[in-house]
Structure 1
Amino acid sequence: MLTATAPVDRAVRQVTAAHARAVSSASLEALRIAFGLLVAASALRFLARGWVGSLHLAPEHHLTYPGFDWVAPLPGAGASLHVAVVAFAGLAIAVGWRTRAALGVFLVAFVWMELIDAALYLNHYWLMTLLGALLFVLPVGRAWSFDAWTGRVTPSSEVPVWMVWAARSQVGIVYVVAGIAKLNADWLLRGEPLGMWLAARGDRPLVGSLFDLPLTPLVASWAGAAFDLTIVGWLVWRRSRPWAYVAVVVFHLSTAALFQIGLFPWAMMALTPVFFAPSWPERMLRRIGVVVPRPPQADAPTTPTWVRRAALGLVVVNLVVPLRHYAYAGDVTENEAGYYGSLRVMLTEKTGTARFLVTDPTTDQAWTVAPGDYFEPWQVGQLASRRDLLITAAHVVAAEARADGHPRVEVRADAWVSINGRQRRRLVDPALDLAALERRPR
C-alpha cells in the first residue's frame, strides 16, 4: 500500500545507500600519509629555525587567547620536547603506527602549541587542526599502514564514499571561504594588498617588470578570486580534474616563490589530490610497476554512530566558524571579530604603532609604556595592528603596574593602524580604559 510519504522514504533510502557505497580507501590513506609528513616537516622546521626559543621561551609575556591564560610553554628543554612530540606523532601518523592514538597525541600537543600565543595564529594551523580531527574520527590506518601490516587492526581496503567526500570538503572549504573573503572593495577595486606586495618584488627576474604595471595587481586579484571560487568545482568534475590540479600546483608554486607563507602552499598541493578518484594512488603505483596487494575485504564494516555524529559536527564547525564574522557588526578586517578560524588567507596587510598611557587615579600619577618594554618585537608588530591583542597587552601592562604597587590603574592606548595601504586611523578610542574591558572570544 502506497502512502503519501513513500516517495520521500524511497528518496531517503537511495541517498543513504549512495553515501554508504563502498569505495577504495587508498585516497584517504594517501591523505593520512601526506598529512603526517606535513606535520612532521612543520614541527622539525620549527625546531631547526630556533623558534622554540624565540617564539615560545623568549617572551616575558604571551598574548594569550581569552580563557586560555593558563596555557604556557613547557619550561626549558620541555618546550623543545613538546615540539618533538608533535614531529614524532606526525611520523607515526604517516607510517600508520597506532594511528588513532598518534592523531590524538598530535591534536593535544599541536592545539597546546597554537594556544600559547595568539600573535602566532596562522590559518593553515587551523586547517591542520580540523583535518587532524577528521582523520582521528575516520577509520584511517587500516591499509597502507604499519598497524594493518602487523595485524594490530583488521585490514580494510574500502570505506563508505561519504568519508572521502568529508575529506574533500575539509580541503575544499579553504578555497571556497578564501574566495568569498576576496569579494571586497580592497581586493577587487584597489588590488590591495597584492599591489603593495608585488611592488616590493619588482626586482624578481623575468616577472619583476610586470609587477610595476598599474593593472597587474587588479588582474592578479581578480584571477586569485576566480581561482578560489571555482577551483573546487573544477576538481570535482572528472573531465577537468587533471587540469585543475595542474592549476593548483602552478598557483601554489607561484605564491610560494613570491611570498613568505611557510608550508601552506606545499600543504595544499599535498592534500588536494584527495579530489581524484578514491583509487588514484593504486592506479598511479600500477603505472610505475608497483602493485600494492589489497587485503581481502570482508563484509563492509559498519560505521559507528559516534563517527557519523562527529563527522557531522566537524561539518558544522567548518561552516559556522569561518563565516561567523558576518554575524558581528563592522568589518572583520578592522575589528578582528570572528577572525580566528576564518581562513582569510593573504587578504590583509596591516602596519601599526602603539603606546600605552597608564594612570593611577588614586595618586594621579601617569606614565607612558612602550609595548617593547614587555613584549618581543614580533609581538609588538601584531598587537599594534590587532584590537584584541592590544586589549590583551593592556591587561598585561595593568597587571605589571599592580605588581609594582599600583593596585588600581587605568590603561589607555594611542594606537594607529593602516590597513591595505589606506590612510592611518585610530585602532581604539584613546579615552577607553582597555584594562577595564572584558576579554571575550569572538
Structure 2
Amino acid sequence: MVLFRIFFGLLIFLEVVGAFITGWIQETFVAPQHALPFIGFEWLTLPAPLAVYIYYGLIAAAGLCIMLGLYYRAAAVAFTLLWWGCYLMQKVHYNNHYYLLILLGLFMVAVPAHRYRSLDVRRNPSLLQHTCPRWCVLIFCLQVGLVFTYASLAKLYPDWLAGKPIAIWFDAKAHYPVLGPLFGQAWFRTFIIYGGIFFDLLITPLLLWRRTRVLGFVLCIIFNIFNSITFQIGGFPYLMIALTLFFFPPETIRKIFFRKKMSAQPANKVYTARHKNWVTTALALYFMVQLLLPLRHMLFRGSVFWTEEGHRMAWHMMLRTKSGHLSFEARTANGQSVPVQLRDYFTNLQIRAISRSPDMIWQAAQIILRDLRAKGHADVALYAHSQVSLNGAPLKTFVDPTADFAKISWKPFQRSAWIVD
C-alpha cells in the first residue's frame, strides 16, 4: 500500500505536468466558449483561465503530498474532490482512467497509506503502523477484478470479434517501427482480438493464485506496455501495472522494496473495531454500485456502442471508433431559417466529440437555443442533421432530423426516441 501511495501520487503529479506541457488544459478548459459537463452539473462552469491553471496546480500539489505522505489524508481528500470536479466539468476528453482515478482517490482517502515511510510519520511518530486491516488491500484487488472482467465481457460483440476497430487502428499505425509490419498481419490482429478478451478475463485469477501470480504480473506488464506504445493512452497502463502490487503478499513487497527489518505489529485494533460496521456497509454499497453500473446499458434499446446510452463508467475500453458530421437547422415560427454555425459556439475538438454522442448533441442544442432566444428568436425550432459511421461502416442517420430539440427534455433513465437505430 505504501509503495502504491508513492506511485499514485507521482502519477497524479506527472498527469498534471503532462496536461500543462501538451496544452491539454488550454484545449479543454480555456479555449472553449462553452463547457460540455455531465448533465446536471452545468453549475460547474469554466473558471477564468488563470484559475484553471491554479486549480490544476493544486491537483499537482495534492499528488506530491500523497506521494510523500505529507498531510496525507487532507491531500487525498483534496485530490479526489478536485479531480472529480474536472471529470464532471467536461465530457469531450472522457477517459476510463480519469474515472478510475476518482475511485482510487476514494480508496486512498479511506486507507492508512501514510503510516509508514511518510513525512507524516516523521512529523508524528505515533502514526507509525507496519500493518493494516485486510480490507484495505482487498478493495483494490476487487476493483481491478471488476475493471478487467467488464472489459472482457464488453469485447464480446460482433464488431470486435470481426476485428473492425482493430483494423482501423492498426491500418493507421502501419508506419510504426518494429510493430508496424505486425499490425498488417491477419494472424497478429486475430491474436490481439482474442488475446485481449482472454487477458482481461483471466488476469485477475492468474494474479490471485500463488502459482500463476508471477506469470500474471509479467503478462500484465507486456499487455500494458504494448497498449501504451500502440495507443498512447496516458498513465492508465502504468496505473494498472502498479495495482498488481496488491495481489502479492506483503512479505514479498517488503523483501524487495523495504529491506529494513520491521517489528511484528498487529493492525490498529481501535481503528478496525470502531469502524467495522460502517466500513462493511460502505464497501457493500460501493461494490454493489460498481457491479450494477456497468450493466445499465442493458436497460436501453439498441447497441450501447451506437447510442452511447450507458457507455461511460462501464469499462468499455478501446472497443469502437466513430466518426461523423453534424449540423443544426433553426427555424422560426413563420418558417424563416436562422443561420447556425457550430464553430460559433464550439471548438473543432468539441464538434467532433458532439457529432458522435447523443447527450452532447442535446447539450449543444440547448446552448444554441439559449443563444438564439437571447438574440430575440423566442419561438424557434432547432433540428439536428447528423450522420455517423461506427467501426468503418457506411454513414447512417444518427439523429431524427424531424426532432425539435426545443421540445426535447433530457431523460437519463429512458431511451431517447430521437436517436435513430
Compute the TM-score of the two structures, normalised by the length of structure 1. Answer: 0.88
Contact residue 132 and residue 267 of structure 2 kept, 8 A: no
Give me the whole-angstrom Cα distance separating, in 2, the residues matched to 1:81 and 1:106. Answer: 13
Counterpart of 1:414, as a letter, is: H
Aligned match of 1:347? 319
Aligned match of 1:275? 247
Does 2:83 align with 1:122? no
Q: Which moved more, 1:129-138 or 1:215-224?
A: 215-224
Contact residue 372 and residue 378 of structure 2 kept, 8 A: yes
Contact residue 360 and residue 409 of structure 1 kept, 8 A: yes
Counterpart of 1:169, as a letter, is: L
Contact residue 138 and residue 307 of structure 1 kept, 8 A: no
Shift of 1:153: 5.6
Does 2:183 align with 1:214? no
Change (3 A) 1:96 1:408: same
Does 2:368 align with 1:397? yes
Shift of 1:292: 5.7
Instruction: Kindly tell me the number of residue pairs found equivalent between the two proteins.
Output: 410
Give me the whole-angstrom Cα distance separating, in 2, the residues matched to 1:142 and 1:421. Answer: 52
Superposition map of 1:344-383 within 5 A: 344-361=316-333, 363-383=334-354
Change (3 A) 1:152 1:73: farther
Shift of 1:252: 0.9
Change (3 A) 1:421 1:137: same
Shift of 1:429: 0.6
Residue-by-residue CA offset, 1:57-85 (whole Å, 9 max, x unaligned): 11011112111111023213111000011
Give me the whole-angstrom Cα distance separating, in 1, the residues matched to 2:8 and 2:307. Answer: 33
Shift of 1:108: 1.2
Give me the whole-angstrom Cα distance separating, in 1, the residues matched to 2:133 and 2:257. Answer: 23
Aligned match of 2:418? none
Compute the TM-score of the two structures, normalised by the length of structure 2. Answer: 0.93
Does 2:357 align with 1:386? yes
Does 2:21 align with 1:48? yes
Does 2:166 align with 1:194? yes
Counterpart of 1:395, as a letter, is: Q
Q: Which moved more, 1:197-206 or 1:304-313?
A: 304-313
Contact residue 59 and residue 375 of structure 1 kept, 8 A: yes
% of aligned pairs identical?
A: 32
Aligned match of 2:419? none
Does 2:68 align with 1:68? no
Contact residue 151 and residue 315 of structure 2 kept, 8 A: yes
Contact residue 34 and residue 271 of structure 1 kept, 8 A: no
Shift of 1:295: 7.9
Contact residue 68 and residue 118 of structure 2 kept, 8 A: yes
Give me the whole-angstrom Cα distance separating, in 2, the residues matched to 1:297 and 1:182. Answer: 43
Shift of 1:176: 1.0
Change (3 A) 1:365 1:144: same
Give me the whole-angstrom Cα distance separating, in 1, the residues matched to 2:156 and 2:303. Answer: 13
Does 2:205 align with 1:236? no
Contact residue 360 and residue 366 of structure 1 kept, 8 A: yes
Give me the whole-angstrom Cα distance separating, in 2, the residues matched to 1:106 and 1:59. Answer: 24
SS of residue paired to 2:132: strand
Does 2:76 align with 1:107? no
Give me the whole-angstrom Cα distance separating, in 2, the residues matched to 1:182 and 1:60. Answer: 36
Aligned match of 1:225? 197
Shift of 1:353: 0.3
Gaps of 5+ in 1: 1-27
Give me the whole-angstrom Cα distance separating, in 2, the residues matched to 1:69 and 1:408. Answer: 24
Change (3 A) 1:330 1:153: farther
Give me the whole-angstrom Cα distance separating, in 1, the residues matched to 2:45 and 2:233. Answer: 25
Shift of 1:339: 1.5
SS of residue paired to 1:262: coil
Aligned match of 1:431? 402
Q: Which has the higher contact order (CA 8 A, sep 6+)?
A: 1
Contact residue 6 and residue 68 of structure 2 kept, 8 A: yes
Give me the whole-angstrom Cα distance separating, in 1, the residues matched to 2:115 and 2:297. Answer: 39
Gaps of 5+ in 2: 414-421
Contact residue 174 and residue 180 of structure 2 kept, 8 A: yes
Contact residue 38 and residue 91 of structure 2 kept, 8 A: yes
Residue-by-residue CA offset, 1:330-356 (whole Å, 9 max, x unaligned): 211111111121111101100010000
